[in-house]
């Protein structure tokens, strides 16, 4: 298992795109900035929607709060794209780092949770003008969302301290 992983890291580091990421001194800091911009957009928009699901901002109709969610997805896309860039540029920093796997686990939980909400309730939410529609299922999904994104950030921040990544 370890040998396969090492071989993968060696192969990835030798690719042109990986070398390109390491060669440009401005690219890594630029991606860090974009990663934080994406994080802020995600936390703000998805956090706002989660609070709405929990019953705050009740005078905002659910469909109206939902119409902001694409901005949260944009934030996620920015953070994900720059995150992949970090990994491709320096896979050796991540593959043996427990914080990296913990972050991935919480990303998976957050992603499955968000997808489940959209698949099960998406159509209903889009047309829901109900001012105080906060059923238990919505609240549970909001709590899972807030907790899992918290740990995504926590383990992301721990990358340089638990392992050796930056």
Partner 1 sequence: MMDFLASVESTEFASWLRESGSIWAYPAVLTLHTLGLGVLVGASAVLDLRLLGAASQMPLEPLRRLFPIMWAGFWVNAISGVLLFMTDATTKGTTTVFMAKLGIIVVAVIVLTTIRRSVFGHSPVSRDPSMTVKALAAASLALWLAAIITGRYMAYV
By CB under 8 A, name the binding residues for partner 1: 29, 32-33, 36-37, 39-45, 47-48, 56-61, 63-65, 67-68, 71, 150, 153-154, 156-158, 161
CB of 108 to partner 1, least distance (A): 20
Residue placing its CB nearer to partner 1 in the complex, 6 or 58: 58
What is the phi-psi region of residue 55: left when phi exceeds 0, alpha when psi lies from -120 to 50, beta otherwise? left
* 15 SS3 class: coil
Residue placing its CB nearer to partner 1 in the complex, 88 or 146: 146
CB of 146 to partner 1, least distance (A): 11
CA atoms of 83 and 32, how far apart (whole Å)? 9
CA atoms of 55 and 142, how far apart (whole Å)? 10
Q: Which residues contact 135 (CB under 8 A, 6 or more apart)?
A: none
Residue placing its CB nearer to partner 1 in the complex, 8 or 154: 154
């Amino acid at each position: 298992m370890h040998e396969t992983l090492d071989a993968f890291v060696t192969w990835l580091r030798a690719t042109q795109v990986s070398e390109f990421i390491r060669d440009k001194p401005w690219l890594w800091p630029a991606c860090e900035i974009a990663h934080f911009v994406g994080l802020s957009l995600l936390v703000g928009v998805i956090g706002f929607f989660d609070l709405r699901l929990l019953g705050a901002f009740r005078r905002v109709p659910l469909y109206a709060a939902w119409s902001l969610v694409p901005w949260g997805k944009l934030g996620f896309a920015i953070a994900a794209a720059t995150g992949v860039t970090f990994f491709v540029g320096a896979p050796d920093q991540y593959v043996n780092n427990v914080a990296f796997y913990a972050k991935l686990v919480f990303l998976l939980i957050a992603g499955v949770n968000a997808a489940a909400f959209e698949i099960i309730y998406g159509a209903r939410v889009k047309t829901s003008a109900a001012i105080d529609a906060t059923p238990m299922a919505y609240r549970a999904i909001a709590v899972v969302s807030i907790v899992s994104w918290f740990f995504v950030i926590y383990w992301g921040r721990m990358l340089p301290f638990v392992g050796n990544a930056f």
